[in-house]
Chain A
Amino acid sequence: MSAPPLPVLLVIPTGIGCQQGGYAGDALPVARLLAAASGCLITHPNVMNGAALYWSDPRIHYVEGSSLDRFATGELLLRPVRQQRVGLLLDAGIEPELRARQLQVAEGCRATLGLDIGPVVTTEVPLEVGLSLGASGASWGQLGQGEALLRAGRQLKAAGATAIAVVARFPDDPDSEALAAYRAGSGVDALAGAEAVISHLLSLELGLPCAHAPALLPLPLDPELDPRAAGEELGFTFLPCVLVGLSRAPDLVPVAGSAVGVPLAGPELCIDAVGAVVAPAGALGGAAVLACAERGIPVIAVDNPCLLHVNAEALDLQVLPAASYSEAAGLVLALREGIAPAALQRPLPGLQGLG
């Protein structure tokens, strides 16, 4: 008989070119493995979203990135739900045919998957999404009409939506070197930074689960397409995974002050219950990982090369290193079963006295 679930956070930052998790939901197998090892995995859309591809697992909690950060700092609890009512927020900048494709995905998810979707709101003006790269090469982005996004989000919330899927028109740049590199499996997802800004803004303002899918024109066929990017080229939209993910995303429950030590009356998940955070070894400098480290939650640092080199040594963090996500899953299982990870390594140093 296995031990009770051990809630684990899985963080793979978006837009930094992670070899696993830097493409079209290509960390989904990792999430499935860690969910099996832990019995309860909390992770974010970048890990789970494979455009037309998705996986629904009741052990996996789909939490937008900024909400995941706030969960890690003790500002939010997560309350599992049977089903969310997912409002659809469409950018007025989407052309009629592309808009119809998005709506047909929503209709398909209602008819074929039984999701509760609606209402649909269109922003008053185009959102004016812009893409940019930081000095590090990481993907960032801009939004010219943030207030229009928030107004549409408030309309959806007032109309009964309990989660929001956003589709914004992103700039097409089919001939760019960056896109060619991404499709060849060696580049950064240039869209990711702006996507994160959109969902963070909406989720912070409304307190609802939110996720984003870009609207783009279909690309010409690339016979050499990297398998990790293939999920994004199977259909006309990136929306199916977002609707499925949000359909069972946990409610975000604000906590006055710190959640530490707060007794729970219901089934909410609290950061106190989390037994480990798993993150790329070179990308430990985000809010969720640092918050966990400051709480003494074990950090499992996985060798998953990316643009950044913000590692345990640079941040003076104590971590459990893992050469792969398979090894990380073994460490999670050990923690879940109450086996000290050090006991699994050789040589095993002798005990040290304090005096």
Chain B
Amino acid sequence: MKLVPLALRLERQPGPLLAQIHDALSVHGQPLRWAITAAQPATETQAAVLLIEAVVRA
């Protein structure tokens, strides 16, 4: 088992947010702890962008 720190940039899609975050983290392992640590709201031309810091169990 290895605990891996991550920092991800996620472009928010329409629909529930939690599942989007879980899917993005699960690619790297089992999410152990995470939080959105910065967020840029959507504009007319761009979707909202979220920065996520996490530790996953790989």
Binding site for B on A (CB under 8 A): 13, 16, 65-66, 73, 132, 134-136, 138, 140-143, 146-147, 150, 193, 196-197, 200-201, 204, 283, 285-287, 290-291, 294, 308-310, 313-316
Identify which of A73, A147, A314 contacts B40 (C-beta below 8 A). A314
* Contact yes or no, B18 A201, CB < 8 A: no
Measured in the bound complex, the distance between the Cα atoms of B39 and A285 in whole Å is 9
Number of A-B contacts (CB under 8 A): 90
B22 to chain A, nearest CB (A): 9
**Can you give 20 A-B contacts (C-beta < 8 A)?**
A73-B18, A134-B53, A135-B7, A136-B38, A140-B5, A141-B55, A142-B5, A200-B32, A201-B57, A285-B36, A285-B37, A286-B36, A287-B18, A287-B34, A294-B17, A294-B18, A308-B37, A310-B37, A315-B36, A315-B39
Given contacts A66-B32, A142-B3, 13 further A-B contacts (CB under 8 A): A138-B35, A138-B37, A141-B55, A146-B57, A204-B32, A283-B35, A290-B18, A290-B21, A294-B16, A294-B17, A308-B38, A309-B39, A314-B48
Query: Range of interface residues on chain B?
Result: 20 to 34
On whether A310 and B39 interact (CB within 8 A), knowing A143-B3, A290-B17, the answer reads yes
* Contact yes or no, A138 B41, CB < 8 A: no
On whether A146 and B3 interact (CB within 8 A), knowing A138-B37, A196-B33, A310-B39, the answer reads yes
* Contact yes or no, A13 B35, CB < 8 A: yes
Residues from chain B with Cβ under 8 Å of A150 in the complex? 1
Measured in the bound complex, the distance between the Cα atoms of B30 and A201 in whole Å is 10
Residues from chain B with Cβ under 8 Å of A310 in the complex? 35-39
Identify which of A65, A286, A313 contacts B41 (C-beta below 8 A). A313
5 closest Cβ contacts across the A-B interface?
A285-B36, A314-B39, A136-B37, A134-B53, A290-B18
B42 contacts the other chain (CB 8 A): yes
Binding site for A on B (CB under 8 A): 1-3, 5, 7, 16-18, 21, 30, 32-42, 48, 50-51, 53, 55, 57
